């Protein structure tokens, strides 16, 4: 068979149908037009898509941290400030460190090398190696020139006063967000608003060009507190000494300005160092003056007397028979430590008679006593904006039994916080009205507050409270040379599992100078266990030390001659129970 050459193949002589040639040409021209149209569309009319895809590979939007606002005391002394720090981060895929490099990095950072290797082995695009380092340490890391290891500028909160202000200020977390105290309560104002900028980064995360600023950061506002650093330190020092002396579990001190309602000091023990929280326990975080409730004991007796005076049931010198020192109500019996016989209303407060207070209470309707306690702020939080603030316990009047009404007259069956108790004593330090309390500095003090008692009633109870710290009263240890002082002691058993235990809370609330009250100081000592537990022995001396130092610090003039203080035997203090 004769072979056929390709060039002479008869198939090549065959002509395609004309319609087929035209169809192929049309298809090719259509495809070319489609490509040209698509190219014009993407590059001329809708170039955002390709631009976005391109920018996504090299452009990044970086957040610019806003500086957190400072916190100062009423005199401008800095209590909390943000200091520049750096955080070390890595891209695990790029951070392929040899063992020697990992050891060098661990040595500079003060970390275990196995911890660093674990972080760098993570299947993630970004990991923090260590955060909030001092700039000098960060510079040492930079000098190592390790691949895939980068740095980020941040801020860390610093608290110059440390333990003294811990419960007032609280602290911030690693992201510079408030976690406790003022830092949490005012976080919105302190934090500010972060900014952002657009940059070009290479594949290793290094910024090679700063493109533009998208939004400048807005720094946080500065907060000026009502706290006076000197008064706070005085309260902290004397409370700490008292807790050590009496081997107490905990304690608190509140100092108020009676003219403005400002909180000048707020101290709690035990405390913690907000600059080093590595071994922080939960109990240390509690701001006990606002979060812990207790039965106030005899510190409530003046309010019972004030209500009886206000209603015209008694007068300042109305006699009340307290003999034989015991009183049975239903199946329960209440008693005084010693029988006093006939006492005036003023002496009931001076001697702290349970019988006299119970008789005053039972002369009134339960609804009237409840309304008074409610108007004083008991049973509900004061709404200071502080996290975790408790309201205490004030049961509805319709549930009260006669014995419960009687015991509430001397502070049992009701619970309050120390800040509530201090604020309630404003009614006696002022002319019967209550001002709202303020954690921040008050520029223009209010001239009047919520009227609870008449001015006459407030002045009469003020005189009774002054008698309580004089010879024959329950708190001679609350006296201060050169100043007239008024106040009331309290000692109460602690409730445990619904029953009163052989543990106590000692307290004292008072104000000075009596001629023109300016400061209110409330002291609470929880579970003193060194033999003494009465408010007049444990809390009253703390009050005297804090009040004396505060009056002199604020330059408040004395209103009494500098005469030797007269003390009496401890016998009257036993009548607070």
To the query of whether residue 298 is one of the catalytic residues in this protein, the response is yes
Sign of the torsion formed by the C-alpha atoms of 246, 247, 248 and 250: positive
**Alpha-carbon span 214 to 232, nearest angstrom:** 44
Phi, psi of 381 (to 5 degrees): -60, 150
**Alpha-carbon span 276 to 544, nearest angstrom:** 33
Q: Are 408 and 361 in contact (CB under 8 A)?
A: yes
Ranges assigned E (strand) in 182-309: 195-201, 207-215, 223-224, 250-257, 263-269
Report the side by side order of strands in the sheet with 250-257: 263-269, 250-257, 519-526, 499-512, 486-496
Which residues does 184 contact at the CB level (< 8 Å), separation at least 6? 170, 178, 387
**Alpha-carbon span 235 to 544, nearest angstrom:** 11
Sign of the torsion formed by the C-alpha atoms of 564, 568, 570 and 572: negative
Look up tokens 């019967």; give the residue.
Answer: 432
Q: Which of 82, 87, 260, 298 is catalytic?
A: 298
The partner residues of 263 in beta bridges, in order of sequence, read 256
Q: What is the CA radius of gyration of the chain?
A: 37
**Alpha-carbon span 481 to 470, nearest angstrom:** 12
What 3-state DSSP class applies to 417?
A: coil
**Alpha-carbon span 225 to 232, nearest angstrom:** 12
Strands 71-72 and 223-224: parallel
- DSSP secondary structure letter of residue 450: E
**Alpha-carbon span 448 to 435, nearest angstrom:** 7
Write out the DSSP string of 297-341. Answer: GGGGHHHHHHHHHHTTS--TT-EEE-TTSEEEETTEEEE-SS---
Tokens, residue 236: 């902290």
**Alpha-carbon span 548 to 285, nearest angstrom:** 29
Phi, psi of 3 (to 5 degrees): -65, 150
Q: Would you put residue 309 in left (φ > 0), alpha (ψ -120 to 50) or beta?
A: alpha
Catalytically active residues are 298
């Amino acid at each position: 068979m004769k072979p056929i050459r390709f060039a002479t193949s008869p198939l090549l002589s065959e002509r395609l149908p004309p319609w087929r040639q035209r169809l192929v040409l049309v298809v090719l021209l259509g495809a070319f037009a489609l490509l040209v149209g698509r190219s014009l569309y993407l590059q001329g009319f809708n170039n955002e898509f390709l631009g976005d895809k391109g920018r996504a590979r090299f452009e990044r939007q970086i957040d610019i941290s806003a500086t957190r606002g400072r916190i100062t005391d009423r005199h401008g002394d800095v209590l909390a400030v943000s200091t520049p720090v750096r955080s070390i981060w890595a891209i695990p895929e790029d951070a392929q460190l040899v063992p020697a490099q990992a050891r060098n990095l661990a040595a500079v950072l003060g970390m275990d090398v196995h911890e660093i290797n674990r972080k760098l082995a993570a299947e993630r695009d970004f990991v923090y190696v260590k955060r909030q380092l001092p700039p000098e340490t960060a510079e040492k890391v930079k000098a190592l020139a390790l691949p895939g290891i980068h740095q980020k500028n941040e801020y860390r909160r610093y608290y110059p006063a440390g333990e003294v202000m811990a419960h007032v200020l609280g602290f911030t977390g690693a992201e510079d967000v408030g976690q406790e105290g003022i830092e949490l309560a005012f976080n919105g104002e302190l934090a500010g608003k972060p900014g952002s900028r657009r940059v070009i980064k290479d594949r290793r995360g290094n910024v090679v060009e700063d493109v533009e600023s998208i939004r400048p950061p807005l720094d946080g506002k500065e907060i000026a507190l009502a706290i006076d650093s000197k008064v706070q330190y005085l309260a902290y020092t004397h409370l700490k000494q008292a807790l050590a002396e009496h081997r107490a579990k905990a304690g608190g001190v509140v100092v108020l300005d009676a003219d403005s309602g400002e909180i000048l000091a707020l101290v709690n023990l035990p405390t913690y160092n907000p600059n080093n929280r590595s071994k922080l326990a939960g109990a240390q975080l509690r701001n006990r003056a606002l979060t812990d409730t207790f039965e106030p004991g005899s510190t409530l007796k003046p309010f019972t007397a004030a209500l009886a005076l206000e209603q015209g049931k008694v007068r300042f010198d109305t006699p009340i028979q307290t003999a034989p020192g015991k009183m049975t109500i239903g199946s329960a019996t209440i008693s005084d430590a010693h029988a006093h016989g006939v006492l005036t209303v003023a002496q009931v407060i001076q001697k702290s008679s349970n019988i006299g207070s119970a008789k005053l209470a039972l002369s009134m309707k339960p609804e009237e006593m409840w309304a008074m306690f409610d108007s004083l702020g008991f049973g509900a939080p004061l709404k200071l904006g502080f996290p975790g603030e408790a309201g205490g316990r004030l049961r509805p009047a319709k549930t009260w039994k006669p014995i419960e009404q009687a015991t509430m007259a001397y502070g049992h069956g009701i619970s309050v916080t120390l800040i509530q108790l201090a604020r309630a004593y404003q009614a006696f330090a002022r002319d019967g009205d209550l001002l709202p309390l303020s954690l921040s500095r008050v520029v223009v003090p209010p001239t009047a507050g919520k009227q609870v008692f008449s001015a006459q009633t407030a002045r009469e109870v003020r005189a009774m409270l002054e008698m309580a710290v004089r010879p024959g009263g329950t708190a001679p240890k609350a006296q201060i040379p050169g100043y007239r002082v008024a106040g009331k002691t309290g000692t109460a058993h602690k409730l445990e599992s619904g029953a009163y235990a052989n543990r106590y809370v000692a307290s004292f609330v008072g104000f000075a100078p009596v001629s023109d009250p300016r400061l209110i100081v409330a002291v609470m000592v929880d579970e003193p266990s060194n033999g003494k537990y009465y408010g007049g022995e444990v809390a009253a001396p703390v009050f005297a030390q804090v009040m004396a130092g505060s009056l002199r610090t604020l330059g408040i003039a004395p209103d009494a001659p500098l005469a030797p203080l007269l003390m009496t035997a401890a016998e009257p203090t036993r009548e607070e129970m």
